[in-house]
Structures are given as structure tokens and as C-alpha cells.
Chain A
């Protein structure tokens, strides 16, 4: 059973709308950021424009948390399994890559961590759903 009054059926739809809206805001923030930085009149505004794309990333985190609150217990079970697997795989991948930088691979910026973890999480979610469908 879900812990909230939101029907479980709606949880996925609400989640997709919130994540896509956040993604759209991220794209707009990344697109307008150079202009905002160039035209900012003081240092505080430059800092605000610089971190602007981080705000939609926080909104994605909020969307994920809200999704977790709206889903039922079996979905939570799958959600946490995929999150645990993706955390382990994602961190191991990033650490392995950081060692390979020592032998000539180009260094990755910290901003790559979120997309890499996101892709690994998506793949582990698909794998977990398929495992329970068998």
C-alpha cells in the first residue's frame, strides 16, 4: 500500500512530468547561463547565474523523493534494490575511471557524476523489473 493519498497509478505519470519539467528547466538554465554571467552587474549575480543549472538538478532529486513516497511497497522494494545496485556500480565505475586517468584517459569533471549515476540507475531499474517479471 502507498503511504500517501495519491493513487499509486498516478505516481509514475506525476514523476515523469516532474522529471521532464526539471530537465527542461535545466536545458533553459544551461542555455541562458553564459548570457546571464556575461551581463551580471555584480559578483553575487555572477555566482547566482553560475549555479543556476544546479537548481533543476535539486528539483529532480525532489521529484525522485516524491515518487518514492507515492509508490507502493513492492515498487519501493524494487526502487531500493535498483538504487543500491546503481550506487555500487556507479561509484565503482567512477573510481575505476579515476585510476585509468593515471594511464592517459582524459579526466572527467565532477559534473559527469550525475549523468553516469543516472544512466546506471536506469539500466539497473530495467534489470530489476525484468528479474521480477520472470
Chain B
């Protein structure tokens, strides 16, 4: 899947570490998500959507 996590994160002035701490995941996990090497589970995708106050499909889209 494609995602615009780096842009959403940058808009809020967050580092990968900040985002990782907010979601209780590792920074490596955020990096893997942003680079498309790992697709999140639904609970993690919902947590991201809640954090960024948007819908899951606003963050992730099919390639």
C-alpha cells in the first residue's frame, strides 16, 4: 500500500520517534510503515487515523 504518513507527520512537526511514542510502537516500525515495507494491522491503522484525525483511506491507498 501507498501512504502519506511522512507528510502527515511533518505537518504536525513530529519526528518518527514522537509518532512511535504516541502509538507505543518502535521507531523502526514507523520507518517500515513510511517506506512501505510493512502494512499495518487494522488496529494500528485505526490508531493512526485517530491520531491524525482523519480516515484510514486518507492515509493509506492501494498501489
Interface residues of A (CB under 8 A from B): 1-2, 7-9, 71-75, 77, 132
A71 to B29, CA, bound (A): 11
Contact B43 A74 (CB under 8 A): no
A91 to B47, CA, bound (A): 39
B11 contacts A by Cβ under 8 Å: no
Contact B37 A75 (CB under 8 A): no
Q: Interface residues of B toward A: which range?
A: 10 to 19
A7 to B43, CA, bound (A): 17
B6 contacts A by Cβ under 8 Å: no
Contact A77 B38 (CB under 8 A): yes
Contact A73 B24 (CB under 8 A): no
Contact B40 A73 (CB under 8 A): yes
